[in-house]
Amino acid sequence: MSVFSRLVVTTLPLVPKFLVGRVARRYVAGETLEDALATVAALNREGVMATVDILGEEVTERDKAEWAVGEYVRLFDAIRERRLDANVSIKLTLLGLKVDEGFCRDNVDRVAQAAKRGGNFVRIDMEDRSTTDATLRIYRELQARHGNLGVVFQAYMRRALQDVAELPATGANVRLCKGIYIEPREVAWKGHDTVRANFVAALEALVARGVYVGVATHDEYLVCRAVALVDRLGLERQRYEFQMLLGVDTELRRILVAAGHRLRVYVPYGRDWYPYSLRRLRENPEVARHVLRATLGRR
Ligand SMILES: Cc1cc2nc3c(=O)[nH]c(=O)nc-3n(C[C@H](O)[C@H](O)[C@H](O)COP(=O)(O)OP(=O)(O)OC[C@H]3O[C@@H](n4cnc5c(N)ncnc54)[C@H](O)[C@@H]3O)c2cc1C
Residues catalogued as catalytic: 125, 175
- The pLDDT assigned to 298 comes to 61
Rg (CA), the chain: 19
Residue 150 beta carbon below 6 angstroms from any ligand 1 atom: no
Residue 297 beta carbon below 6 angstroms from any ligand 1 atom: no
Using the atom order of ligand 1, give the atom closest to the CA of residue 280. 41
Which run of H or of E encompasses 192? helix 192-208
Mean pLDDT by 10 residues, the chain (299 residues): 75 85 91 97 98 95 97 98 98 97 98 97 98 98 97 98 93 97 97 98 97 98 98 96 97 98 98 92 83 70
298/76 Cα distance (integer angstroms) = 38
- The pLDDT assigned to 5 comes to 72
Give the count of beta carbons closer than 10 Å to the beta carbon of residue 298: 7
Which run of H or of E encompasses 204? helix 192-208
Using the atom order of ligand 1, give the atom closest to the CA of residue 178. 17
Expressed in angstroms and rounded, the spacing between residue 178 Cα and the centre of ligand 1 is 7
Please, where are the H alpha helices in 12-166? 17-24, 33-45, 62-81, 101-117, 132-146, 160-166
Using the atom order of ligand 1, give the atom closest to the CA of residue 217. 25
